[in-house]
Structure 1
Amino acid sequence: MADPVRGRRWADHRRTLEAIAWKYRTNSPWRDLPDELGSFQTAHKRLIRWAVDGTWEMLLAAVLSAADADDDIDWTMSVDSTVVRAHQHAAGALKKGRWSSAGRSAKAEGPIRW
């Protein structure tokens, strides 16, 4: 005897993908998902389920291999100050010899500014 079917059919994948894309494009909470994109619970659960079972990695690999086959890959990287760490000397750190053992160098004048 065959196993009984549990649950109901999945919502349309395309609509769910649109819901996930909308959420990340707008940076809005899941609960603000428009009604025409379906239930926010469905979209969120499927996002998590696909992350756990490796579906997103398989989709990325398929898209990259198709683009590579068409010689259509062009890597562009965007770097901003929120992800770049500067070396301590670039951040205005004090240099050796600036302060003497008495506290301040003979060259320093005026109040100490941090």
Structure 2
Amino acid sequence: MSDAEWAFVRPLLPVLLWGRKRLDGRRVLDGIVWKFRIGTAWRDVPERYGPWATLHTRFRRWALNGTFDRTLRAVQARADEAGDIDWLVSVASTVVRAHRHAARARNGGSEIPDSDALEAA
């Protein structure tokens, strides 16, 4: 992460005012980004980003408390102000037909009995 990117993101991260000294937020965020960019397990994140359990815990906290949502909105707002986002959206739809057996239908249109009805018999 560049210094300019960190300067933008840093105020968006939560600040802990009490407790033990925490691992640097920039290092943790770099480790989280590395993990998802590579697509590996948490335990396989290199030690230079800190303990994998710390990265996982911080990721879960930030995901649950809305830090990532706030950061995304801030980045989008900044890019929109700069004219870097084209908000034109195209949606394509596709029709997929399922075989009648996928809908549990029989030849006469009667339903297949559910497991509770079979157990009662």
Shorter-chain TM range is 0.5 to 0.7
Larger Rg: 1
Distance in 2 (CA, whole Å) between partners of 1:28 and 1:45 is 16
For CA contacts below 8 A with separation 6 or more, give which structure has more relative contact order.
2
Name whichever structure is richer in helix by fraction.
2
TM-score, structure 2 normalization: 0.58
TM-score, structure 1 normalization: 0.61
Distance in 1 (CA, whole Å) between partners of 2:88 and 2:20 is 42
Q: Which moved more, 1:48-57 or 1:6-15?
A: 6-15
In the alignment of these two chains, the number of paired residues is: 82
Give the secondary structure class of the aligned counterpart of 1:8.
coil
Residue in structure 2 matched with residue 59 of structure 1 by the alignment: 71
Question: Where does structure 2 lack aligned partners over 5 or more consecutive residues?
Answer: 1-16, 101-106, 108-121
Shift of 1:86: 4.7
Match of 1:22 among 21, 34, 53: 34
How high is the sequence identity, in percent, across the aligned residues?
A: 40
List, as ranges, runs of 4+ consecutive aligned residues in structure 1 with deviation greater than 4 Å.
none
Distance in 2 (CA, whole Å) between partners of 1:36 and 1:44 is 15
Q: CA RMSD in A?
A: 2.7
Distance in 1 (CA, whole Å) between partners of 2:82 and 2:33 is 25
Once the two structures are superposed, residues 55-101 of structure 1 have per-residue CA deviations (whole angstroms, 9 ceiling, x without a partner) of: 11110010000000001114698xxxxxx86511xx7x69xxxxxx9
Shift of 1:10: 1.8
